[in-house]
Amino acid sequence: MDLQLSGVTKIFEPDIVALEDVYLQIESGEFVYLVGETGSGKTTLMRCVTREVVPTRGHISVGGYMLRKIKRYDLALFRRDIGVIFQDFALLPNLTALENVKFVLEIMGLSPKETTERASEELKNVGLWRRRDMYPPQLSGGEQQRLAIARAIVNTPALLLADEPTGNLDPSTADEIMQLLLSINAAGTTILMATHNPHFVDTYRHRVIEIHRGRVVRDEEKGRFDANGLC
Amino acid sequence: MASARYAFRDGWRLVVRHWGLSLLTIFTAMAVFYVIGASTLFVMNVRHIVSKLEDQLTIQAYVKPGVDLDALAKKISALEEVRDTKVITKELALERLRTRLGNQVEAVSLLGENPLPPSIEVRVDKASQVSNTALKIDVMDDVDDVVFAGPVAEKLSKVSNFAGQFSVVLLVVAFLASGVVLFNTIRISVYSREEEINVMVMVGATSTYVAMPFVIQGFLLGFAGALLAFLFVGGTYFSAIVKLKDMLPFLTFIESPQLLYKLGFMLVCCGATVSLIASLLAVEKFIKNAMEPL
Ligand SMILES: Nc1ncnc2c1ncn2[C@@H]1O[C@H](COP(=O)(O)OP(=O)(O)OP(=O)(O)O)[C@@H](O)[C@H]1O
Ligand SMILES: [Mg+2]
């Protein structure tokens, strides 16, 4: 799923400029790192792409969906096509770990059997099978993050937005998750990943987009994490 | 359908999770629907009694001596609002007096010649027409005098009308009251799940999907309230009738069980309708907002 932002500016009330005149073109199948200091606008950019936020100016199109005038029902369909790993996880606290993952498949109308099979498999992939009957508040930060990842990828999304997906994980678990994301990308999913982790960016070299105070200040193929000393 | 199963399961979960609120709502709905049911029965009985009494309402037209009774009866029957007429000859009048007096019948015989005047008994269609018709009959040449229960007739028709209007007002008020209570309960559960709703919408749930459990929650509560109210009304009605018949033996009440089944059906339909509307309203705007971007 490809992604275009043209002239996207987001100003939050009263006058916080979170994004300013952002132009981006991401092709289907790319793996892109989004870097930048805290508060630079990475999450806001992703929320524009999920249409949780609508830009003050500019247009966004994702895989043929024009987000500015998308209808409510189409918005639901669009969100089923993409996967999002939220920075704050956004899990459903009253559903068990397994039910959380099953939920996205259920709303897509899959059969109960297929739903259970695929959700179980995804939980195993992120190493949470033993925790399947626990509720999110009972899970550790890292476990919650892995659950959020499982839910985001269980529907094999065409586009995955990953907002700091390894922020709460120890280095070895983080690396496992990174391998998981790379393999999903190799299978065709476009990935946009916001990260503060220099190790990954410098080890698994891909395109790097750097934001500074809401502006794109760098966009290079196989870039390094911190070329300008801004991150 | 998997999503219908989910909606029912989740609607039920909502009822159980907020069980205190659920009980409160069910009892309130029950009280309201009890009032609706009881007042409906009351009004139907008032109507029933009034129509029975109307049947017994007559105008007595006393006739001047020597008049052809049958001809006069025909003339009166020709009036539009008259249902039927009955000729009471001197003999028939005496006969009636005899039966009414029972064993004091000797006193009547003592009078010697029959002193009772002949008359024509007139029945009209509606109680409200009695006074008017009586006037029309009174001005007829052959008629000596008319006797009728004018004020009683008018009061009866007023009671019947008032009971009808009163029940309509009560119905509207009760409907609104139960609607508001259900609306508030659903609102509270919606707000208690505010974050979850936002998450569901973010991962691609449609507004219908998100709304369904709440609508079903409201439906279950309203339905339960109406059903309980019906059982209560049904349970109390017949024992109340038995007592009333003891106290007011001259009145007749509606006693058919069919009536109760109809009432129960009506109550449950009302409960379902009100709760569906209330919960749809409660949830609709909220979910629309959840889908709106920042
Ligand atoms: N809803 C909002 N209302 C007002 N200001 C907001 C809102 N959301 C974000 N901002 C502001 O927009 C700016 C960008 O925030 P954003 O969350 O996009 O940063 P970020 O790059 O994701 O940071 P981090 O690396 O810490 O996650 C910040 O200054 C933030 O305070
Ligand atoms: Mg962020």
Residue type, B75: K
CA distance B115 to B112: 8
- Cα B100 vs. chain centroid, distance in angstroms? 36
Residues B272 and B197 in one domain: yes
B1 has a pLDDT exceeding 60: no
Mutation test residue for ligand 1: of A34, A42, A88, A196, the one with most atoms within 8 Å of CB: A42
Question: How far apart are the C-alpha atoms of B132 and B88, rounded to whole Å?
Answer: 22
Mutate to test the pocket of ligand 1, among A12, A46, A225 (most ligand atoms within 8 A of CB): A12
- State residue B255's pLDDT score: 80
**Judgement on whether residues B144 and B183 belong to the same structural domain of the protein:** no
Same domain for B166 and B138: no
pLDDT at A157: 95
Considering B117, B148, B179, which residue would you say is the last residue of a domain? B148
Task: State residue B103's pLDDT score.
Answer: 62
- Per-residue confidence band for B108, with pLDDT thresholds at 50, 70 and 90: low
Q: How confident is the model at residue B293 (pLDDT cuts 50, 70, 90)?
A: confident
The number of folded domains in chain B is: 2
User: What is the H or E stretch that residue A145 is in?
Assistant: helix A141-153
Q: Packing angle between helix A112-125 and helix A141-153, nearest 10 degrees? A: 130
DSSP B222: H
Residue B2 is encoded by which pair of tokens?
């998997």
Residue B184 has pLDDT above 80, yes or no: yes
**Residues B72 and B120 placed together within one structural domain of the fold:** yes
Tokens of A201: 């960016």
Is pLDDT above 80 for B229? yes
CA of A155 to the centre of ligand 2 (A): 24
> Given an 8 Å threshold on Cβ–Cβ distance, is A54 in contact with B205?
no
Query: In this prediction, what percent of chain B has a pLDDT beyond 90?
Result: 7
Q: In whole angstroms, give the CA distance from residue B276 to residue B164.
A: 27
Query: What pLDDT does residue B104 have?
Result: 65
Place of tokens 């992604």: A3
Cβ distance A107 to B196 less than 8 Å, yes or no, reads no
Residue B179 shares a structural domain with residue B101: no
In a shared domain, residues B106 and B34: no
What is the SS3 assignment for B102-132? Answer: HHHHHHHHHCCCCCCCCEEEEEECCHHHHHH
| Mean per-residue pLDDT over chain B, rounded | 83
Q: List the domain range (segments joined by +) for residue B223.
A: 2-53+155-291
pLDDT tens-digit profile, chain A (231 residues):
999 999 999 999 889 999 999 999 999 999 999 999 999 999 999 999 999 999 999 999 999 899 988 998 999 999 999 999 999 999 999 899 999 999 999 999 899 999 999 999 999 999 999 999 999 999 998 899 999 999 999 999 999 999 999 988 899 889 988 998 999 999 999 999 999 999 999 999 999 999 999 999 999 888 888 776 665
Cα dist from A6 to A26, A48, A49, whole Å: 12, 12, 12
Strand partners, A62: A3, A65
| A151 within ligand 1 shell (Cβ under 6 A) | no
pLDDT of residue B110: 64
Q: Do residues A197 and A187 lie in contact, with contact meaning Cβ atoms separated by under 8 Å? A: no
**Is the distance from the beta carbon of residue A36 to the nearest atom of ligand 1 less than 6 Å?**
yes
ipTM score of the complex?
A: 0.89
- Chosen domain end from B113, B148, B183: B148
- Specify whether B174 is located in the same domain as B278: yes
Identify whether residues B188 and B277 lie together within a single domain.
Answer: yes
**B117 and B252: one domain?**
no
B118 CB-near residues (< 8 Å, 6+ apart): B62, B63, B69, B87, B88, B89, B90, B93
| Mean pLDDT within B95-122 | 73
The whole-number pLDDT of residue A231 equals 58
Structure-block tokens of residue B133? 């018709």
Cβ proximity of B51 and B253 under 8 Å:
no
Q: What is the CA radius of gyration of chain B?
A: 31
Atom of ligand 1 nearest to the CA of A40: 21
Substitution target in A79, A100, A108, A111 with the highest count of B β-carbons within 10 Å is: A79
Ligand nearest A86 Cα, by number? 2
Closest CA to B160 of B48, B37, B263: B48
Q: Which of A187-191, B178-182, B282-286 has the highest mean pLDDT?
A: A187-191
Cross-strand pairs, A61: A4, A66
The residue of chain B with its CA nearest to that of A101 is: B203
Find the closest chain B residue to A90 by CA distance.
B199
How many Å lie between the centroid of ligand 2 and the Cα of residue B241? 72
Query: Does residue B209 belong to the interface with chain A, where contact is any CB pair within 8 Å?
Result: yes
C-beta of A12 in contact with ligand 1 (< 6 A):
yes
- CB-CB neighbours of A46 under 10 Å: 22
Residues of chain A in contact with residue B293, where contact means CB-CB under 8 angstroms, are 51-54
Quick one: closest CA in B to A56, which residue? B294
- pLDDT at residue B2 above 60? no
SS3 A136: helix
Nearest C-alpha in A relative to B198: A90
Ligand 1, atom 17, residue with closest C-alpha: A43
Rounded to the nearest 5°, which phi and psi values hold at B72? -65, -40
Q: How far apart are CA B209 and CA A186, in angstroms?
A: 33
CA distance A29 to B29: 57
Same domain for B286 and B165? yes
Q: A40: which 2 tokens?
A: 């630079």
pLDDT over threshold 80, residue B220: yes
Q: Name the residue with tokens 């500074």.
A: A212
B85-124 residues touching A, CB cutoff 8 A: none
Q: How far is B19 from chain A (nearest CA, A)?
A: 16
Closest by alpha carbon to B271, among B217, B219, B232?
Answer: B219
Of B97, B115, B148, which marks where a domain is finished? Answer: B148
For chain B, count helices (H), then strands (E).
10, 4
pLDDT at A215: 94
Q: B202: which chain A residues are within 8 Å (Cβ-Cβ)?
A: 50, 52, 79, 84, 86, 90
**Residue B105 Cα to chain centre, angstroms:** 45
Q: Which residues of B touch A80 (CB under 8 A)?
A: 203-204
Task: Specify whether B183 is located in the same domain as B257.
Answer: yes
Q: And the tokens for B194? A: 């505010």
Q: Is B162 helix (H, G, I), strand (E, B) or coil?
A: helix
**Position B252, amino acid:** T
- Give CA B144 to chain center in angstroms: 42
Q: What is the CATH number of the domain that holds B81?
A: 3.30.70.3040
Nearest CA in chain A to B201: A76
Q: Which residues pair with A212 in a beta bridge?
A: A215
- Chain B residues 243-262 with a CB less than 8 Å from chain A: none
Residue with the bigger pLDDT between B155 and B187: it is B187
Residue B94 has pLDDT above 70, yes or no: yes
Q: Are residues B67 and B113 in the same domain?
A: yes
- The residue whose CA is least distant from atom 29 of ligand 1 is A39
Q: Check: CB of residue A99 under 8 Å from CB of residue B9.
A: no
Nearest CA to ligand 1 atom 2: A12
Which token pair is B13? 């979960």
Cα A16 to middle of ligand 1, angstroms: 9
Atom of ligand 1 nearest to the CA of A164: 27
Assess whether the C-beta atom of A38 lies below 6 angstroms from ligand 1: yes
- Contact predicate B142/B117, CB 8 Å: no
